[in-house]
Structure 1
């Protein structure tokens, strides 16, 4: 084979790789570690859908070297959009992402440097393939367990036998022992208040000091974030 013919074949294969990736995901960005001579495989995602989960959402892809298998490139799908006026962005691979938690937020890391958004997290159990998902802002986490029940946690590294407390706006404070956490009934009550509330005041004690740590958390975007989390959780079960 003549050298120039071989070069043309290599170029054709490289173009084919890009074309295939772009066909699978028209809006594709290639990372600096992308290897043109390696095949592209889809990430083994928590969310199997290749289309947006939410109306009006858009899918874009990132292609780069697969760190779990360096002989391939990996394609990650990211869904972005605005849901009921609240901006969001999350990965279909593991459900992680960000939801607008401040009226001035743009979901841009630099522009939002001094703002706090809702972060999304999903964890898959490798033993039984079940999963749980949660939202977090400052020291408050709200989520859905593997069995579909709801939970809320406040703070971390709690002082032994101390309490955790949440007060939504001017509602009655809700208290639980830190080790056992809020009951499902308490969690459901708090979530219903948070959906229509403006702020949550949290209190807990962190080891090694037996002193209350109070934090006021703005609830901007929580109602929409909770709906988005439920869509991610349910879709991941399919």
Structure 2
């Protein structure tokens, strides 16, 4: 059996890029410059939150509506939208893959609320299923029938996942204090066990944003 070891170098934050340059009639600027024209949001998640009109930075980011933007107490920039989606950036590049993504939705049949928190650059997913707290931690991309996904928090004992590739959300408290989380997944149709080391940078901020969006009624 082959085994692939991945050390996600991006997770250290050492690969941060400069903000994407935008050329306007007034000269080069950045997405942050365009977003600075927003207005304060008195009802935001954080006191520094701003409402950004879509016509400011939207065309560059591919956003067609106004949205909210702010900075967490840990210093990470976040955005969220009226559809229950959002993100927490882990470096200064607004277009970087190095971020946490949040997606919350309300079931159209029973009105139950659920959220998914995931890393764009690592196979780690946190589920909020019907509760305003993590209910499961899952190995993203694990879909090989009969193969075992696993988690290891720092140097602790490996934790075997269930058939869906998930473990209990109770493990999150330990994961938030960890220096690294090792995730093993197996992708169909390959039998290789793929191990990824995830440094939980910004995870506390991302959990906080997810809890906030979970509580907001979907517009």
TM-score, length-normalised on structure 1?
0.63
Contact 2:181–2:200 (Cα < 8 Å) also in 1:
yes
Q: Deviations over 1:56-104 (max 9, x none)?
A: 211222169xxxxxxxxxx833111111133233333122222133xxx
Please point out which of 162, 174, 181 is paired with 2:166: 181
> CA RMSD of the aligned region, Å?
2.9
Is 1:155 aligned to 2:140, yes or no? yes
Contact 2:72–2:78 (Cα < 8 Å) also in 1:
no
Contact 1:88–1:107 (Cα < 8 Å) also in 2:
no
Aligned to 2:32: none
What secondary structure does 1:232 align onto? helix
Please point out which of 28, 35, 38 is paired with 1:27: 38
Which of structures 1 and 2 has the bigger CA Rg? 1
Task: Give, in angstroms, the shift of residue 136 of structure 1.
Answer: 0.8
Contact 2:88–2:99 (Cα < 8 Å) also in 1:
yes
Aligned to 2:45: 53
Aligned to 1:199: 180
Q: Quick one: distance in 1 between partners of 2:125 and 2:146?
A: 20
Q: Quick one: distance in 2 between partners of 1:82 and 1:54?
A: 7
Aligned to 1:15: none
Task: Give, in angstroms, the shift of residue 133 of structure 1.
Answer: 1.1
Q: Deviations over 1:12-56 (max 9, x none)?
A: xxxxxxxxxxxxxx838xxxxxxxxxxxxxxxxxxxx98312222
Q: Alpha carbons of 1:157 and 1:166: their partners in 2 closer, same or farther (altered >3 Å)?
A: closer
Task: Give, in angstroms, the shift of residue 157 of structure 1.
Answer: 5.1
Matches within 5 A, 1:4-153: 27=38, 51-62=43-54, 76-101=65-90, 105-109=91-95, 112=96, 116-137=98-119, 138-148=122-132, 150-153=135-138
Q: Quick one: distance in 2 between partners of 1:162 and 1:177?
A: 10
Q: Alpha carbons of 1:57 and 1:139: their partners in 2 closer, same or farther (altered >3 Å)?
A: same
Aligned to 1:217: 198
Tell me: higher relative CO, structure 1 or 2? Use CA pairs within 8 A at least 6 residues apart.
Answer: 2
TM-score, length-normalised on structure 2?
0.68
Q: Quick one: distance in 2 between partners of 1:77 and 1:120?
A: 17
Aligned to 2:5: none
Aligned to 1:40: none
Q: Deviations over 1:149-206 (max 9, x none)?
A: 6111103252111111111212222112333732xxx3212x1112111211110111
